[in-house]
Amino acid sequence: MQMTGDETAPQKALVEFREIGKTYPNGTVALRNVSFQVIEGDILAVCGENGAGKSTLMKILAGIEQPTQGTIHYEGRQKRIADPNVAGDMGIGMVHQHFSLIRSLSVAENLALGQEPRRGLLIDRRAAADRVRELAQKFSLDVDPETKVGSLSVAAQQKVEILKALSRNTRLLILDEPSAVLTPQETQELFEQLRSLRARGVTIIFISHKLHEVRALANRITVIRSGEVVEDGVLSEMSDAAISKLVMGVDVTRASRNQRDLSAATPVVVVKKATVATGDSDRRIDAIDLTIRAGEILGIAGVDGSGQEGVVDLLCGNVQPDEGDISLLGRPMALATTLDWRRAGMAHLPGDRFQIGGAPHMSLVDNVMAGSHRDKQFTRGPFLRVDAMVARTNELIKTFNVRCLGPREPLNSLSGGNAQKLVAAREFSSNPKFLIVNQPTRGIDVAAAAMIHGELLRLSQNGTAILLVTSDLDELLQLSDRVAVMFDGRIAVVLENDGLTPERLGPYMLGLEKAS
């Protein structure tokens, strides 16, 4: 372990981990000899792969889990953080990746939960609301205390979570992958808020997979790999390559695309003047023209809600166009249902792996085989050949490197990245002629993302036409042969990706420029 510090600034350790170890009863070692300091007033990024142990460490600090070894020192004194209440009293607040808010209660009620202001036997609602306003003003996080949490956007819910974490004189705020559920714009706003919190003297620890976010926000970084601290230091002294090498343990070979000329390749999907004027306003599309050729990856860029979801709905058969034509390999598809699309060779990796892409409570076998459960290979008459299904599932688990206990585990026992790999395994293994991928790597770790990128490029080399919808511009520009930028339900421009930059796309995404 190497300790590098910013020698010029006066430093005081707010938290010090001393040889923290955590072994679960089943023998899994989550953390081993973890020692480092959290400097007061810093924004510390904790990086590492899924399952590296960073969340466990943060849960120990927040009192949710207990270490099996080692001690935590807070403001120089050894402390035992027996439960989250103790952590709260000490001034430690944590914002979890999955929100712990009650949707049917108002913001004020959620914040008051567990520490309700009372008037006699009753809860003093006005005092609760006033407290929220006061807090919101103090930290300039703008929320209305009376609104029901369920009716708030994800970004606003996160603000409420942060307020909740800050509500007890919090000096140390822990955020577990705060940007995983946010759009890039919302992430920018969140980062502004976190910076202003820091200016108010709150120390921040945040867990992230995304290097550019770490760079944008943090000043220190701690890298955890397989339960051990492999790096701890000042961020500006480290290169991206060095960090990703530390996170992964090896150099990440970023899958990269070869520049190809695909203008002669067969058009697989052709969309002509397709319009969908009904449904949610951010899913409407207006006179879309698109051609995706065999072996081509067509990326769709745009500010969220510019109609990308509408194009996905249209091309997977969720909706039929009110006007216009679609064809897949020359076959008319304007009236096709999802089943027709699938039969014609479409596959689809959806944006939400637990709601749309899979059934969280069903087994991995069921999740992988769903869709091919009528194939001759896996049936005998009306019956399923369970042995063949399990064998196939094991095979896919192996090829796609899905970390799990076995094929009979439910899908929701997997981490986000592994669940995504499993859903991708199902969709990619059907040898699709046309593949839709929607936010393929949102919220998953670098290694899983690299694996999915590699698979996408391999499929495109084998002639699959791919539609890539993503709000991650790096990903978009890394993979796409051409980029269509959408604005307000229309395609603003289609650009060849010969060295495209985000700056080039920006004006089209914001509707400032249109193709002439």
d(CA 467, CA 436): 5
Nearer to other proteins, 318 or 420 (CB): 318
8 Å CB contact between 36 and 45: no
d(CA 486, CA 488): 7
Name the token pair of 195.
Answer: 């910076």
8 Å CB contact between 158 and 190: yes
- CB 424 → other proteins: shortest distance, Å? 13
- CB 496 → other proteins: shortest distance, Å? 32
Rule CB under 8 A: choose which of 216, 241, 356, 512 binds other proteins: 356
Name the token pair of 297.
Answer: 């990856």
Rule CB under 8 A: choose which of 342, 394, 430, 504 binds other proteins: 342
Residue 515 contacts other proteins per CB under 8 A: no
Helix (H) or strand (E) holding 263: none
Question: How distant, in Å, are the alpha carbons of 60, 72, 174 from that of 63?
Answer: 5, 11, 12
d(CA 325, CA 345): 18
d(CA 70, CA 510): 52
Residue 280 contacts other proteins per CB under 8 A: no
Among the listed ranges 127-135, 241-249, 346-354, 493-501, the one in contact with other proteins (CB under 8 A) is 346-354
The gap from C-alpha 201 to its chain's centroid, in whole angstroms, comes to 29
Reported residue count of the chain is 516
Nearer to other proteins, 149 or 486 (CB): 149
8 Å CB contact between 66 and 20: no
Among the listed ranges 163-171, 251-259, 366-374, 497-505, the one in contact with other proteins (CB under 8 A) is 366-374
Residue 125 contacts other proteins per CB under 8 A: no
**Which residues, 397 to 456, sit near other proteins by CB under 8 A?**
408-410, 412
Residue 359 contacts other proteins per CB under 8 A: yes
Question: What pairs with residue 267 in β-bridges?
Answer: 293
Residue 337 contacts other proteins per CB under 8 A: yes
Residue 351 contacts other proteins per CB under 8 A: no
d(CA 66, CA 61): 9
Residue 318 contacts other proteins per CB under 8 A: yes
DSSP state of 251: -
Rule CB under 8 A: choose which of 5, 249, 371, 502 binds other proteins: 371
Nearer to other proteins, 373 or 458 (CB): 373
Range 382-409 burial, b when 16+ CB lie within 10 A, else e: eebeeeebbebbeebbeebebebeebee
- CB 340 → other proteins: shortest distance, Å? 8
- CB 294 → other proteins: shortest distance, Å? 23
**Which residues, 95 to 124, sit near other proteins by CB under 8 A?**
98-99, 103
**Which residues, 375 to 404, sit near other proteins by CB under 8 A?**
379, 382-384, 386
Residue numbers of the site for other proteins (CB under 8 A)?
98-99, 103, 316-318, 337-342, 348, 350, 352, 354-363, 366, 369-371, 373-374, 379, 382-384, 386, 408-410, 412
